Structure formats: C-alpha cells, structure tokens
C-alpha cells in the first residue's frame, strides 16, 4: 500500500507497540492518539506577560511554569504549529530535528 508519510503520521512504530493512549487537543478538545498529537512545551511566566516583560527589563527573576500543549493535526496546521510539507520533504525528518540529532 502506498504511504503518504513514512511514519503514517504517527510515531508509534509498526505493530510492536499496539494501541497508544489518548490526549485532548488543547484548542478544540478533540480526542487524539498521543503519538499522533503535536506536542509543544512552553515556559509561561506566572505573572501576566506585560508585567513579566517589565520585571525582566529591570533584571528581576520571573518564575516560569511549564505548560504542555497538545494539538490535533487540523489545529496545528491552522495555527502554523506544524506546516504542510511537499511530497519529497515529507519522507525525511525536518531540518531542525536533524540538526538536533547530530549536534555533537
Ligand atoms: Zn484541535
């Protein structure tokens, strides 16, 4: 069967792993498999952004909270979190991932 993507749009593997858990899209609330969801980790300041900016300008330490966001594919594409790639690009890993992997 021809495949549109090498990993079939998921990071699950070919049969060994079985079913994966589910997460909810942080934008639309859709229930999506964990390995298919687009995960983004953000460090958000505990105070409002404008206040945080002002405090950092003065050299104060602003504590930040780790916020994990999961997006479904439709939301990720709509908000530009993930981009649609051309056929030949799609089969390979994106540039940023390759540079991360072979940094040493
Ligand atoms: Zn969504």
**Residue 71 pLDDT:** 95
pTM above 0.85, yes or no: no
Q: How far apart are the first and last CA of the chain?
A: 37
Range 1-5, long-range pairs (CB < 8 A, 24+ positions): 4/90, 5/90, 5/91
**Average pLDDT over every residue of 42-57:** 90
pLDDT surpassing 80 at residue 14: no
Which fold would CATH assign to domain 22-99? Answer: first zn-finger domain of poly(adp-ribose) polymerase-1 (3.30.1740)
Q: 12 C-alpha vs ligand 1 centroid, how far in Å?
A: 20
Residues at Cβ < 5 Å from ligand 1 ion: 25, 27-28, 30, 72, 75
Confidence class of residue 95 from pLDDT cuts 50, 70 and 90?
Answer: low
Tell me the mean pLDDT in the region 20-34.
94
* Beta-carbon count within 10 A of 28 CB: 12
Measured over all CA atoms, what is the biggest interatomic distance in the chain, rounded to whole angstroms?
60
């Amino acid at each position: 069967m021809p495949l549109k993507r090498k990993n079939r749009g998921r990071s699950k593997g070919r049969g060994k792993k079985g079913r994966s858990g589910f997460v909810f899209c942080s934008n639309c609330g859709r229930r999506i498999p964990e390995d298919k969801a687009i995960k983004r980790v953000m460090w958000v300041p505990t105070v409002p952004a404008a206040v945080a900016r002002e405090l950092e300008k003065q050299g104060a330490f602003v504590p930040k909270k780790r916020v994990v966001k999961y997006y479904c594919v439709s939301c990720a594409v709509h908000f530009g979190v993930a981009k649609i790639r051309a056929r030949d690009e799609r089969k390979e890993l994106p540039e940023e991932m390759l540079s991360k992997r072979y940094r040493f």
